[in-house]
Structure 1
Amino acid sequence: MKTTYKNIKVTIHNNVAVLSFNRPEQLNAMNRDMMNEIIDGINIINEDDSVFVAIIRGEGRAFMAGADIKEYGGQTPEQFKSFQDCGIQLYKSIEKATKPWIAAVNGFALGGGFEIALSCDMILASENAKMGLPEVFLSLVPGGGGTQRLIQKIGLNRAKEMLFFGNQYEADKLYKWGIVNEIYIQNEFDDEVMKFAEKLARRSPSAVKELKRLAQLSLEPVAFEKKLAEEGVAVTNLFYGEEAKEAIQKFIDKT
């Protein structure tokens, strides 16, 4: 595993991987080099069978304050297209992963940073976290799937409000709106996130893999009967697997 990066850090412990954005002086704003490192780190984590759960977080005062506008604004058309294509690859590599990804949002998650969080399976926030898609202030729209994933997770009217105004929203409001799963106080945030992830890592990896796939399938334009059929195939395959056999027998032995 590549362990040395300039703009990120990757650690693995107790079946939990942590990918940390590491440009705190720039509020972890994402430039091209950082994006390439993030993609590499995500791919390494996704391919590591010892990792059951992954956390993505930011060092310092921010999760990620979006793209590095100084670099972003000076791109040629070819560079702009490449940057957008790499961003789409980044978000998909989280969303399509077979293991769950948790966004641990401590501070600002704006623009592309919020889009990364939206790509994750769950969002845990500190009490001082603020999130939003401020692209409208630059006469732009989110370019990494933010419009579509936000609508899927929050509903059309709330999503339009967030997109049209471009405001920053506090964690407690986003918790009420259903985007944030849990809020933790600042001085306990890192410990609580790790407890959450380690608890999830103790669940059956094969079952969680199928649960994530089926949950994502619910959003696809596929006939409902096909979705139910996929669920049936999944439970059948799991039932005859070794993990389920051992778990069922353990349950029987306790009763």
Structure 2
Amino acid sequence: MSGAQPPTDHSVGGALPDAVKALAAAADQTAAVLEKLPASDRRTAQDRAAAAAAKAEVRALRCAFLDAHVDAVYAELTGDRARHLRLDELAESAAIRFPGLVPTAEQLAADRDRPQAAKEGHEIDQGIFFNRVLASRTSGTHLLEAMLRPTERAQRLLPGFAGTGSADLGSVRLERRGAVTHLTLCRDDCLNAEDGRQVEDMETAVDLALLDPATEVGVVRGGVMTHRRYQGRRVFSAGINLKTLHHGGIPLVGFILRRELGYIHKLQRGILLDEPARWSGRTVEKPWVAAVDGFAIGGGAQLLLVFDHVLAAADAYVSLPAAQEGIIPGASNFRLGRAAGTRFSRRLILQGRKVWATEPDARYLIDEVADPAALDDAVDRAAETLRGPTIVANRHMLIAAEEPPDTFRHYMAEFALQQVLRMYDDDVLDKVRRFSERGA
């Protein structure tokens, strides 16, 4: 870096006020270096090396700063943990209160409309921040609990859904039939490939089903598609929307982390309510059924690992093409080994193995296979089997044994950093660029 020498690790490890000033000064120096360089997608090899060196120096200081002060930072942002900030709120507050720690709203906005390959990579600094927050038992546990609370949107829509038993959120439709609420994924334009819109709607839908007193069981299933190759057929999920990723529309905080710590975490653990009357347990939990038509690819396959009963049509398949996409398949690396063993997990994740519903190995992912024409009835029977308070209590204890909160928190801390590094690695950018150019 040109100009004054960057502060040492010691300077950000001292008293918090001094450390904040030192980190802000280092971040300003890095910004000055980057401003003198061409835009990220027009840099020469020498320019890229200069930018990488400048970023690496200040990122090392961010890590040292957080290693020394993460709990103090988190306490200040949350009013000594009296406020429960969601991921985006926490990041926004950190950018204002601790300059240079995470990207500003202006920096993120400048990157937002650029293709992934043309971004500056400011989200990596968010990854560092959430890596350290989640790694702290005090701060990380509080953040996980904040993300288990129902969203404002769901609370606003709850009276209408509770009264009518139906809601159309855009990319997800809800319909209560008896004591079972069906969540239908209906992004028919992209085979239910997930983006920020679908993550938003799914968290709202899961919240509504959990909050609704008349719902005992939730069912998630793909809707009927209009896509030319699957017109008139149901499809569960094509995974992450790679076109959107290429165009820069898959953010770390608003999609990657929100998806795992929001609706998927709620499918697993329920929603958390602070009500004095709930002295016997703070969460509202319900059993969930998944029905796979067509395929569950990538993110769709990840979802299956948190359901209590998974059905699939006999002509459906499941795959986790993480190696081909170049990214980490969410919490699959955490959950799949428990369900299927280490050898099968490596074949599925590292080699992209496709598993058809009728194969013997499908038993690790699918509980029941039905003829496509009989899947509706099979879903109804499965949902009926999972009704009742005894199911909920036993499910709660199974999850407590299988996935302790601290173990999940440690995984997500590492995931927050490793995933964002993958999102900005050259091989991933090249893969999503080629995918988009194919017009898939």
TM-score of Structure 1 vs Structure 2, range by shorter chain: 0.7 to 0.9
Are 1:193 and 2:366 an aligned pair? no
Separation in structure 2 between the aligned mates of residue 199 and residue 220 of structure 1, nearest angstrom: 24
Match of 2:172 in 1: 8
Q: Where does the alignment leave 5 or more consecutive residues of structure 2 unmatched?
A: 1-159, 162-166, 225-233, 271-284, 406-440
Are 1:215 and 2:398 an aligned pair? yes
Match of 2:186 in 1: 22
TM-score by length of 1: 0.79
**Cα 1:123–1:111 shift into 2, 3 Å:** same
Q: Quick check: 1:174–1:180 contact (8 Å CA) kept in 2?
A: no
Are 1:39 and 2:203 an aligned pair? yes
**Cα 1:70–1:48 shift into 2, 3 Å:** same
Larger proportion of strand: 1
**Cα 1:53–1:175 shift into 2, 3 Å:** farther
Separation in structure 2 between the aligned mates of residue 209 and residue 70 of structure 1, nearest angstrom: 39
- Corresponding residue SS for 1:86: helix
- Corresponding residue SS for 1:196: helix
Q: Quick check: 1:95–1:121 contact (8 Å CA) kept in 2?
A: no
- CA deviation profile, 1:164-184 (whole Å, cap 9, x unmatched): 111221012266543211100
Q: Quick check: 1:16–1:54 contact (8 Å CA) kept in 2?
A: yes
| Correspondence list, 1:1-255, <5 A | 1-2=160-161, 3-60=167-224, 61-75=234-248, 79-88=251-260, 89-97=262-270, 98-142=285-329, 144-173=330-359, 177-201=363-387, 205-220=388-403
- Corresponding residue SS for 1:163: helix
**Cα 1:164–1:121 shift into 2, 3 Å:** same
TM-score by length of 2: 0.47
Separation in structure 1 between the aligned mates of residue 325 and residue 179 of structure 2, nearest angstrom: 41
RMSD: 1.9
Match of 1:248 in 2: none
Matched residue count: 217
Which stretches of structure 1, 4 residues or longer, exceed 4 Å deviation after superposition? none
- Corresponding residue SS for 1:18: strand
Structure index of larger Rg: 2
Identical pairs, percent = 24
Superposed displacement of residue 112, structure 1: 0.8
Separation in structure 2 between the aligned mates of residue 111 and residue 56 of structure 1, nearest angstrom: 16
Superposed displacement of residue 62, structure 1: 1.5
Superposed displacement of residue 6, structure 1: 1.4
Name the amino acid aligned to 1:46.
Answer: L
Q: Where does the alignment leave 5 or more consecutive residues of structure 1 unmatched?
A: 223-255
Separation in structure 2 between the aligned mates of residue 43 and residue 221 of structure 1, nearest angstrom: 22
